[in-house]
Amino acid sequence: MATELSVDVAILGAGGGGYPAAFFLDKSGFKVLMVDPIGNLGGNCLAEGCVPSKAVREASLVRATAKKYPFFGLSGTVPQADWKAILAYKDKVQNTRYALHKEEINRSNILFYKGIGKIVDEKKIEVITDKENFLVFFKFLIIATGSRPHSLPIAGSDLAVNSHDLFKLNATVPFPSKPIIIGGGYIGVEVASMLENLGAKPSILETTELLVGGLDRELSLFLAEKLKTRIHIELGAQVESIEKDRDKFKVVYQKNNQGHTLEGDLVIMATGRECLTPEGIEKLGFPSSKPLPVTSFLQLYDFPHIYAPGDVNGKSMLFHSAVLQSIIAAHNIAAGGQPVSRMDWKSVPYTVFTEPELAGVGLTEEEALHLYGQHVEIVKYDYAVDSRAEILGETEGFIKLLFDGENKRLLGAHIAGVEASQLIAPLALAIREGLDAEALAHVAFPHPMISEGINKAARTFSP
């Protein structure tokens, strides 16, 4: 008979959707149990996603900078890329983060287990570890099991690698000279951009007519125009199969009702991510591997004592969004399950770490025009007139702000170009707080920085 344990809050998953809530509730005096298959904090973001991929990207940017030496009056050779050494650097970053997280766990009162949590019913879970299985009764449950890479159901899909294979600890995927990337979403374009910086000649096959679908259309078109000078891109490509002959791969696809093939030395499946629901989710009436439906308070419909923050609900599959959702769920639990804190999905910014970078928050131009029509005011600031962009030699890009023409409130912000990932944060705050053009126009941003463009764009609408 399994051992039994009672807690205030049980948490499935120690990624961005899980651990912020765990620490908040632990400090608030709740008895918290958290179970995670990795056995540490960070989830997929640290294990195989944002952190290791951006470490590899940083190495690629250092190398790519050498290509700009003549612009700055410098000379020298482009550094050689040592793939194994770059992966070792990536591993060091991951291991450093894991060590810090282990200390955080040890300083808390959280009951932390490496293993999986299986839902038994709406009041208890089964924790399964290498050493023991036991039942846990809870007052509140947080399902934060995240997501996993999606794979196309095509012949030969098992021949492809994914982001997990590329960026996990001790990864062994060799550096490709001609990688074929299936999927032109944010993962696909980021991987293509960093590999090209390191000397590869990537190809992207995207089924739709836009890269990184769902963004403001102008940003998607801008990215495609800039990336195609470095990367072979096929839009409207319906991939049918993957084949392998010794060390060579062949991807078969349809485009414009004609068959095509593309050959390379590695195939990377980058067709998005799918929700990873816990075992036993069917006991609550939900299908496995499908987004869990939640309210803006992160509660499961029909189960107000169960919360599902992060990728598992499919609404905003970004680590920083998961962290905020986790904290909101924790606030509501700390209030005894009362809905005291609500998630504002539209104020969550996105970033695409390509070269050039993209970032945005709030409504896209298409959404704003649909909702507000002629009342939308669109203003832009062009990097071509920015002093910082001129200093960097990065004058291709823009900041686009969308305002409600009646009350001047910021509806959306979209940036294409260098430092976009840094520039979006104050605009996300403006969306969250309902700020207007005057608020953005009357703040002094430092000079010479591209952030001044936020001021200048706002002033064209509200002098």
Query: pLDDT tens-digit profile of 213-256?
Result: 999 999 999 999 999 999 999 999 999 999 999 889 999 999 99
Domain boundary among 323, 345, 367: 345
| pLDDT of amino acid 3 | 85
Considering only CA atoms, which of 168, 200, 217, 189 is closest in space to residue 352? 189
Domain boundary among 289, 314, 345: 345
Token pair for 311: 């990728």
Domain annotation covers residue 278: yes
- CATH code of the domain containing 217: 3.50.50.60
Q: What percent of the chain has pLDDT over 70?
A: 100
Could you read off the pLDDT of 57-67 as tens digits, one per residue?
999 999 999 99
| pLDDT of amino acid 129 | 96
The overall average pLDDT reported for the chain is 96
Domain enclosing residue 425, as ranges: 356-461
Task: Tell me what the mean pLDDT of segment 72-79 comes to.
Answer: 94
Domain annotation covers residue 350: no
Residues 141 and 161 in one domain: no
Domain annotation covers residue 35: yes
Distance CA(120)–CA(282), nearest Å, equals: 10
| pLDDT of amino acid 388 | 97
User: Residue 328 pLDDT > 60, yes or no?
Assistant: yes
Domain boundary among 250, 271, 292: 271
Residues 312 and 381 in one domain: no
Domain count, the chain: 3
Task: Tell me what the mean pLDDT of segment 406-413 comes to.
Answer: 96
Dihedral over Cα of 402, 408, 411, 415: its sign: positive
Residues 330 and 201 in one domain: no
- CATH code of the domain containing 404: 3.30.390.30
Residues 267 and 278 in one domain: no
Could you read off the pLDDT of 160-216 as tens digits, one per residue?
999 999 999 999 999 999 999 999 999 999 999 999 999 999 999 999 999 999 999
| pLDDT of amino acid 120 | 98
| pLDDT of amino acid 36 | 98
- Count of CB atoms situated within 10 Å of the CB of 4: 10
| pLDDT of amino acid 2 | 56
pLDDT class for 1, splitting at 50, 70, 90?
Answer: very low
Distance CA(79)–CA(63), nearest Å, equals: 6
Residue with tokens 């593309």: 262
Domain annotation covers residue 351: no
Task: Tell me what the mean pLDDT of segment 73-100 comes to.
Answer: 97
pLDDT class for 111, splitting at 50, 70, 90?
Answer: very high
Domain annotation covers residue 54: yes
| pLDDT of amino acid 462 | 86
- SS3 call for 187: helix
